[in-house]
Amino acid sequence: MSATLATLLSELEPTWSIEVIERLDAVARESSDAWNNAGTGHAALCELNYTPEGPDGSIDIAKAVRINEQFSLSTELWDHLIAQGRLPGDDFRTPVPHMTFVQGERDVDYLRRRHAALSAHPRFAAMEFSDDPATIAEWVPLIMAGREPGPVAATRAPDGFDVDFGALTRHLLDDLGDRGTTIRTGQEVRDLRRGPDGGWQLLIQDRSSGRSRVLNARFVFVGAGGGALRLLQRSGIREIRGYGGFPIAGQFLRTRNPSLVAEHRAKVYGKAAVGSPPMSVPHLDARAVGGGQALLFGPYAGWSMKFLKHGSWGDLLRTIRPDNVWPMVSVGLKNVGLLRYLITEVLAGRAQRMASLREYLPDAADADWELITAGQRVQVIKPVRGGGVLEFGTELVTAADGSIAGLLGASPGASTAASAMVDLLGRCFPARMAGWQPRLRAMMPSLTDEDADADAPSEDPDLVDQP
């Protein structure tokens, strides 16, 4: 997110001085690292929760269209940067078909209706549907091998991507460094307060020497992932009052067995179990990372009080304040189903995890799969009248004067970084947007007025996080 914002700003205002502060010794070691997320270029080609079913059986595709448009903005930005020689090439994204796989009469019927609704839209015209086991076996042989007979169906969109967001982040920051942006690693923003000129004073500590310095900034983007809530609270801005965060650790099973990898060339999303939260949607993904290939299955949820994978066990406690206690308690009382899901997941052992995998890969052998720890999610608890609500999407919090903004949320979705950061520009620099529009459109030709409108809401409030 920060690399995307710095890239946009460096094109829009080349004379501005930009400094990126990273607490770890290298960039992209938290959620954006390739193995800390699933690498799905979310374009709503395979995720069922983007196409809710109405009580009359109709399928609402508005959210899917919006997410597809948002992903297009990211790909247009990347294409622009490649054409300009600012990205070294396309090694961070790999074309991989996106599929949805379901079982049972009811879900087969739903998938058929969903395909009919989506494929009528030009953005999804290439999507195929099949309920023929032989055709599905041609698409994804491992999923059909050893499967008991029964109703199954799948859709297949050939135009999906696996994205190594870690490699992308490193490329973006390498380019920014070459163009004059200062990138400092091993330095942690410990505190921030208003400066006398209406800007911000950031207290930054070098983590190896322990020495501190103060950085004055006219504008601050708190793109600190799980660390954003605490920093926004430290800033004292009114807009962060009442917000809380709830951490959920992620795990995946991974195999690098060449014979399995060679036979599964797709990202296959299924249906979340009834009552489980959207980020629990199981999926079996072909991954391409650092020149190697692997398969990933998950996610499984784990319990941790850390807000960052390399964070501290005190993270959760440090964000609890008088103004967010009631929103957090009320969310706990209202989301018993989520707590039940988490307890079940945390208590699940290797055998249960392999059993979940075998619903997708009936012949999966224990020895082929290792458990890896993914990134840390921090679900947003948002204050509302009478308590709080648990958000599965993202929340862009901006101060009224636009001098500081931060992104909260389990998964803003690295896929939608370009759209999220254009939205941020509109909110924090409304007076400049008209002048910036032509250059933004040169980078992202399909940018709409709505994307760049300062008054537009930051995100679709219903945008549901995808693992």
Ligand X SMILES: Cc1cc2nc3c(=O)[nH]c(=O)nc-3n(C[C@H](O)[C@H](O)[C@H](O)COP(=O)(O)OP(=O)(O)OC[C@H]3O[C@@H](n4cnc5c(N)ncnc54)[C@H](O)[C@@H]3O)c2cc1C
Question: Could you list the residues that contact ligand X (CB under 6 A)?
Answer: 1-2, 21-24, 29-32, 37-40, 42, 165, 188-189, 223-225, 227, 231, 250, 299, 308, 374-375, 377, 407, 411-415, 467
Whole-angstrom Cα distance, residue 110 to residue 99?
15
CB closer to ligand X out of 4 and 130: 4
CB closer to ligand X out of 327 and 406: 406
Furthest-apart CA pair in the chain: how many Å? 71
Report, in Å, the least distance between residue 268 CB and ligand X.
13
Query: H or E stretch including 305?
Result: none
CB closer to ligand X out of 74 and 130: 74
Beta bridge partners of 377: 248
Report, in Å, the least distance between residue 2 CB and ligand X.
6
Least Cα distance to 357 among 288, 283, 274, 417 occurs for: 283
CB closer to ligand X out of 311 and 426: 311
8 Å CB contact between 380 and 444: no
Report, in Å, the least distance between residue 189 CB and ligand X.
4
CB closer to ligand X out of 124 and 165: 165
Look at phi and psi of residue 370 and say left if phi exceeds 0, alpha if psi is from -120 to 50, else beta: beta
Report, in Å, the least distance between residue 343 CB and ligand X.
19
For 401-453, give the DSSP string: TSSEEEEEES---GGGHHHHHHHHHHHH-HHHHHHHHHHHHHH-TT--HHHH-
Report, in Å, the least distance between residue 113 CB and ligand X.
26
CB closer to ligand X out of 227 and 327: 227
Contacts of 459 (CB under 8 A, 6+ apart): 393, 394, 395, 396, 412, 416, 420, 423
Structure tokens belonging to residue 465: 């996080």
CB closer to ligand X out of 5 and 440: 5
Report, in Å, the least distance between residue 459 CB and ligand X.
12
8 Å CB contact between 423 and 396: yes
The total of other beta-carbon atoms located within 10 Å of residue 13's CB is 15
Report, in Å, the least distance between residue 290 CB and ligand X.
17
Report, in Å, the least distance between residue 419 CB and ligand X.
12
CB closer to ligand X out of 24 and 108: 24
Whole-angstrom Cα distance, residue 397 to residue 316?
19
Report, in Å, the least distance between residue 239 CB and ligand X.
18
Separation of first and last alpha carbons in the chain = 17
8 Å CB contact between 110 and 101: no
For 40-82, give the DSSP string: B--SSSS-GGGSPBPTTS-B--HHHHHHHHHHHHHHHHHHHHH
CB closer to ligand X out of 98 and 114: 98
Q: How far is CA 39 from the centre of its chain?
A: 9
